[in-house]
Amino acid sequence: MIGTAAELPGPLMPSFGILGFFLMVNVALFIGALISIARTRNHTTGSQVVWALIVFALPVIGALTWFLIGRRSKNTAALKQ
């Protein structure tokens, strides 16, 4: 017997709910932080590697720390001189 759309076992794309939303935000933040670290010209290669390791070790906290502190660390030091 041919079923209608209402009789199908589930939607074609699953609903992840609020946890899925936070997962997607976390992945976007993680990838954005790594791209930002790779593209920065304010840090040496060594410090870029350290920041990338921090983001890999602590994905959420490391990425937030990069965006809040790391991107400005060299700029604020240059402005204070």
pLDDT band of 9, cuts 50, 70, 90: low
- Domain borders along the chain are 22-74
CB atoms within 10 A of CB 37: 22
Residues 18-58: pLDDT tens digits? 888 889 999 999 999 999 999 998 899 999 999 999 999 99
Give the residue-averaged pLDDT of 2-28.
73
- For residue 3, count CB atoms less than 10 angstroms from its CB and return exposed for 0-12, middle for 13-18, buried for 19 or more: exposed
What pLDDT was estimated at residue 28? Answer: 95
- In this structure, what DSSP letter does residue 3 have? -
Strands (E), 1-81: none
Q: Note the pTM of the prediction, 2 decimals.
A: 0.69
